[in-house]
Structure 1
Amino acid sequence: MTTITIDPVATAGLVAREIRSGERDGAPTKIAVARRAYATDRADLWDAVTSAARIPRWFLPVSGDLTVGGRYQLEGNAGGTVERCDAPASFAVTWEFGGSVSWLTIALTEDGDGTVLELVHEAVVPQELWDQYGPGATGVGWDLGLMGLGLHVADPTGAIDPKAAEAWSLSPEGVTFSRLAAAGWADAAIADGDDPVAARAAAERTVAFYTTVPEA
């Protein structure tokens, strides 16, 4: 199993974050964009993010049909439909969780000897939920996923133990990482027009959500 040993400050700083306000089918949306470079070629990174054998090593077990029009399911998390696949450049899926549907696009761009991954997640977000948590509600989760992908790229033969990952998220290093990620998403929301005080308060609530041990 892969051991999570990272510099939380440096690793959080690898992600560029952006928030855009959009619209889909007449409904206002929030669009979270995360970009991170990986030290591997595009073919390998494509395989890491689309292979049913590799996705569980850094993210979650996945089942279903990972072809266009097929349905997928991540264990204990979202499922959806594969809407588009343009290997090895990009793919798009619906992201269905808790009765809501949002839209996820992953794009890979060659960058010298490495590859830049761009994740775009568009959702219709109830205003009360945005006021409470801001973009960090999903953004910090994506940061954790991109961190896991980085560990996998560095050691493709290893796998992240979910229990170890949960324990790490509650460690001082994990809390620091979540705090920095949430602050980065708050800054992105502020750049999109959110009130700075409200955005930073929402980020603090997001950190508490990700780093508080659930009651038994």
Structure 2
Amino acid sequence: MKDLIAELEAVRRSVGDATLPAGDAKVVALSRTYPAPIDDVWDAVTNPERIPRWFLPITGDLRLGGTYQLEGNAGGEIRVCEAPKRLLVTWVMGDAGPEDSSLVEVRLEPEGDEVTRLVLEHTAVMPPEMWDQFGPGATGVGWDLGLVGLWAHLTGVETGSPEEMDRDPAVRAAMSHSSDEWGAALAVAGGDPDDVAAKVAATTAFYVPPLETL
């Protein structure tokens, strides 16, 4: 497999603040290009037959106004679906509250006939204890892995089973690198150096536990 660290370094990350109906929110944003036309990238991120090849199995009424559920992960409502450029969904773990507390937006832009830029923004009202412990890496590392999975799918690279990936030294190094990169993004956003270091350490320990615990 191509160097995963290089793929992670193709991503640009930022951390910010926003407001949702449910309250003050944090924003983690990722941007990178893919060597594929925009229609192909759009199909990969919206076609229920292709999503499981790079992300997770998905079920639901996959149309504007419908709902979706990712196996063992989030579900929600499809709020915007403007092919081939913009997708906006609610992103809920468990039961949805009365007001929006977590939104994921994906935007695609062509950069030539065979290159597409993808921008993903996850805006969520984070439990204070979760943000205080992990910072943006809590969700950011997962999105990094998702974007690498999409790259592998679009370029025909085999990644192996989830069990194999959990023990693969290259994957573990990539998750550690992702944690570091989210720490760097938080520092750019004005994070205190000691607090950033603590959040990076906690995120890395969560995503890259000792092998004997797996």
CA drift of 1:215 comes to 5.0
Corresponding position of 2:183: 186
Contact 2:159–2:165 (CA under 8 A) maintained in structure 1 = no
Calculate the aligned-residue CA RMSD, in Å.
1.8
TM-score w.r.t. length of structure 1: 0.90
Corresponding position of 1:106: 106
Contact 2:176–2:208 (CA under 8 A) maintained in structure 1 = no
What secondary structure does 2:65 align onto? coil
- TM-aligned CA distance change 1:151 to 1:190, over 3 Å: same
Q: Counterparts in 2 of 1:106-145, with a 5 A limit? A: 106-112=106-112, 113-145=114-146
Give the counterpart of 1:91 among 65, 87, 93: 87
Deviation string, structure 1 residues 122-158 (Cα, Å, up to 9, x no partner) = 0011222111111001100000000000000001xx8
- TM-aligned CA distance change 1:57 to 1:160, over 3 Å: farther
Contact 1:59–1:149 (CA under 8 A) maintained in structure 2 = yes
Corresponding position of 2:197: 200
What secondary structure does 2:91 align onto? strand
Give distance in 2, aligned partners of 1:133 and 1:214: 23
Corresponding position of 1:168: 165
Quick one: which amino acid aligns to residue 163 of structure 2? E
Give distance in 2, aligned partners of 1:119 and 1:195: 25
CA drift of 1:182 comes to 1.0
Unmatched 5+ stretches in structure 2: none
Q: Counterparts in 2 of 1:140-155, with a 5 A limit? A: 140-155=141-156
Give the counterpart of 1:210 among 183, 207, 211: 207
Deviation string, structure 1 residues 4-53 (Cα, Å, up to 9, x no partner) = x2312211101100011111237211001001110000000000000000
Contact 2:14–2:186 (CA under 8 A) maintained in structure 1 = yes
How many residue pairs get matched?
A: 208
Give distance in 2, aligned partners of 1:12 and 1:52: 25
TM-score w.r.t. length of structure 2: 0.91
Q: Percent identity?
A: 40
- Please tell me whether residue 8 in structure 1 is matched to residue 9 in structure 2: no
- TM-aligned CA distance change 1:153 to 1:198, over 3 Å: same
- TM-aligned CA distance change 1:60 to 1:26, over 3 Å: closer
Unmatched 5+ stretches in structure 1: none
